[in-house]
Amino acid sequence: PAITRDRLRVAIQKSGRLADPARDLLASCGLTWRESRDKLFCYGESLPVDLLLVRDDDIPGLIADGVCDLGIVGRNVVVEYDLGRQAGGAPGALEEWRQLGWGTCRLDIAINDDERWAGAEQLAGKRIATSYPHTLGRWLSERGVEADIVTLSGSVEIAPRLGQADLICDLVSTGGTLAANNLKPVETLLHSEAVIAGPTHPLEDGRADIADMLLRRMDGALRLKE
């Protein structure tokens, strides 16, 4: 039986780059809320919309499992999650319901400063450190390149210096972190921004109307900012 609920539940990042802009966006839609003591759950006061504050990596799974209805998260996280599901033989579970235009960054291949870049073929047999193994794996296989993907959950940019990998595939915004580690971006796998992620199917029961209203207000708020 499908889960029925008369309140919409939106997952946002608890702390990090997307946390404040996500809260600001929801506040600009007229949402006010009360935080629980543990600050993991926010009860919506002005609208029947509750917030769950989590790590960004947990947001796709919460939506896929129906625990949350929508989430505010980077496209990079959504794409990686769905490719991971598909690698396991499951269908994709998520769709971008809106693009928010902030939190922009790229998922780039970066190599040592002093190396020359001649194209993807030179990656054959190389060790590539990344937190995005499925997105990188798809990009490599589309090019028929077999490389060794070293999956790291953080500090990817120091992996070449530590001898863990020959190069990296990581998120880049200004390129400052890469430069500080003597790396340079050479290929872009994905252009990312914050998105409203939701299921591939429409919401059911009263939540459909609540989501419609929230998204309409969001569209208005986003238009005002342009």
Distance CA 26, CA 11 (A): 11
Segment contacting Zn ion by CB under 5 A, of 43-51, 57-65, 99-107, 200-208: 57-65
Question: Is residue 61 a contact point for ligand ATP (CB under 6 A)?
Answer: no
CB 152 to Zn ion: min, Å: 13
- 135, 191, 187, 16: CA torsion to nearest 10: -80
Distance CA 129, CA 107 (A): 12
CB 52 to ligand ATP: min, Å: 13
Distance CA 79, CA 160 (A): 25
CB 133 to Zn ion: min, Å: 15
The only residue of 57, 95, 96, 187 in contact with ligand ATP, by rule CB under 6 A: 57
Q: Which long-range contacts (CB under 8 A, 24 or more apart) does 59-62 make?
A: 59/11, 59/12, 59/13, 59/197, 60/93, 60/94, 60/197, 62/11
Partner whose footprint covers residue 203, from ligand ATP, Zn ion, none (CB < 5 to 8 Å by kind): none
The only residue of 155, 173, 188, 200 in contact with ligand ATP, by rule CB under 6 A: 173
Residue among 3 and 40 whose Cβ is closer to Zn ion:
40
CB 25 to ligand ATP: min, Å: 14
Q: How far is CA 51 from the centre of its chain?
A: 17
Q: Are 170 and 108 in contact (CB under 8 A)?
A: yes
The only residue of 50, 56, 108, 157 in contact with Zn ion, by rule CB under 5 A: 56
Q: Are 68 and 153 in contact (CB under 8 A)?
A: no
Residue among 157 and 166 whose Cβ is closer to ligand ATP:
157
**By the criterion CB under 5 A, which residues form the site for Zn ion?**
56-57
